[in-house]
Amino acid sequence: MSEPTGPGLLDAYGWTPAVAGRLAGLGGTPGRVVRVDRGACIVVTAGGLITAGIGVGVRPATGDWTTVAGDPPMLDTLAERTTALVRRAPSGRREQVLAAEIQAAWIILGMDRPINAGRVERALVVTHDAGIAPSVVLAKADLAADLPKAEAALAAVAPGVPVHPVIALTGEGLAPLRAQLATPLTVALVGESGAGKSTLVNALAGQDLHRTAEVRARDRKGRHTTVSRELVPVPGGGVLLDAPGVRELGVLAADRGLAAAFPEIAALARDCRFADCAHGAEPGCAVQSALADGRLEPRRWSRYQVLAEEVAAAHAETERGGAARGRPTPR
């Protein structure tokens, strides 16, 4: 096979010379996984969208770069991933890849409901740990009871993270998002059902690609209008990855993400007298000192502890799994 050049639709789905280099020599026809269905994938190639079967041992995720071969076509080889958005599977501690080859994530919060600070912090841990740049999008900003207050609250929950209030139905606030997409990037949308993800995708894509639904008035909960993770190219550059609402983002061994999501605690920990300080009753603990004099908010410390326990549990599970695999087979 000659080296792929990425003509046609591939350009709209994020094709770059770097991607071409990663796929060169793998054989087959280059493409990108647009959607993963049960037992098959929708793949975009230079010639258009095709349905491809999934080969034995191949575990694709939406966003993966791949090669396709055969008749009927099958996913042949997945390119090594540069990024992957991963969570602990709801059924246990096994990891679940939500999306691959993502450069940024927008955490979508619907302003028709209270901000769930814990949900935001959890999403930040997962995205930071994946090396994916997060932003917070305040969808339905016109429905906010007090938008400045919401923005101030997020500054404490998501320090240093860009916050974008938008009204997708009118286009207000979309310009910064379009500019980020046009760099170009593949951006994953993360948020609960009814937060406004599908409306935002429709507005940025310039057409009604995804059905939207009203949320229940009594509790502001929405129904899943997006039923699978899918790539959507945006006119002007960039690709969106829309996904069903995520109720839970379980964290794995996300030490890097935890430190990045709680930078004030990571900075304090570096000033503790002992390098292995557990931030309890140890003398010279900078974290406990900051809690005592009000420099560290107790809620932030409490949330950090909850997530740190999940990270520690994931490490312990990994070690137990490794030990089990290393045991000799009984005779």
Do 206 and 263 reside in the same domain of the chain? no
Going by C-alpha positions, the residue among 218, 142, 129 that lies closest to residue 173 is: 142
Q: Which domain holds residue 115?
A: 84-242
Would you say 205 and 211 are in contact if contact means Cβ atoms under 8 Å apart? no
What is residue 221's predicted lDDT score, i.e. its pLDDT? Answer: 47
Do 233 and 105 reside in the same domain of the chain? yes
Do 119 and 224 reside in the same domain of the chain? yes
Residue carrying structure tokens 């042949």: 76
For 310, the enclosing helix (H) or strand (E) is helix 298-326
Do 102 and 226 reside in the same domain of the chain? yes
Q: Is the pLDDT of residue 325 over 50?
A: no
Do 96 and 228 reside in the same domain of the chain? yes
Residue 247 falls inside a structural domain:
no
Amino acid at 124: L
Percent of all residues in the chain with a pLDDT value above 70, rounded to a whole number = 85
Q: Please tell me which residue, 171 or 215, carries the higher pLDDT value.
A: 171
CATH of the domain at 274: 1.10.40.50
Would you say 253 and 58 are in contact if contact means Cβ atoms under 8 Å apart? no
DSSP string of 162-216, one letter each residue: -EEE-BTTTTBT-HHHHHHHTTT-EEEEE--TTSSHHHHHHHHHTS--S---PPP
What is residue 322's predicted lDDT score, i.e. its pLDDT? Answer: 53
Q: What is the pTM of this model?
A: 0.85
Percent of all residues in the chain with a pLDDT value above 90, rounded to a whole number = 68
Q: Is the pLDDT of residue 245 over 70?
A: no
What is residue 225's predicted lDDT score, i.e. its pLDDT? Answer: 46
What is residue 3's predicted lDDT score, i.e. its pLDDT? Answer: 37
Do 106 and 234 reside in the same domain of the chain? yes
Would you say 133 and 105 are in contact if contact means Cβ atoms under 8 Å apart? yes
| Rounded distance between C-alpha atoms, residue 96 and residue 122, angstroms | 16
| Rounded distance between C-alpha atoms, residue 229 and residue 241, angstroms | 7
pLDDT band at 56 (very low <50, low <70, confident <90, very high): confident
Q: Which of 48-52, 197-201, 210-214 has the lowest mean pLDDT?
A: 210-214
Q: Is the pLDDT of residue 2 over 80?
A: no
Do 106 and 180 reside in the same domain of the chain? yes
Q: Please tell me which residue, 315 or 100, carries the higher pLDDT value.
A: 100
pLDDT band at 57 (very low <50, low <70, confident <90, very high): confident
What is residue 274's predicted lDDT score, i.e. its pLDDT? Answer: 95
The mean of the pLDDT values for the chain is: 86
pLDDT band at 82 (very low <50, low <70, confident <90, very high): very high
**In the listed set 78, 103, 135, which residue is the last one of a domain according to the structure?**
78
- What is the count of structural domains for the chain? 3
| Rounded distance between C-alpha atoms, residue 313 and residue 252, angstroms | 8
Would you say 203 and 140 are in contact if contact means Cβ atoms under 8 Å apart? no
DSSP 8-state code for residue 65: E
What is residue 249's predicted lDDT score, i.e. its pLDDT? Answer: 72
Do 91 and 201 reside in the same domain of the chain? yes
| Rounded distance between C-alpha atoms, residue 28 and residue 128, angstroms | 34
Residue 132: partners with Cβ closer than 8 Å, 6 or more residues away = 83, 85, 102, 103, 104, 105, 188
| Rounded distance between C-alpha atoms, residue 262 and residue 273, angstroms | 20
Most trustworthy range by pLDDT among 229-233, 238-242, 259-263: 259-263
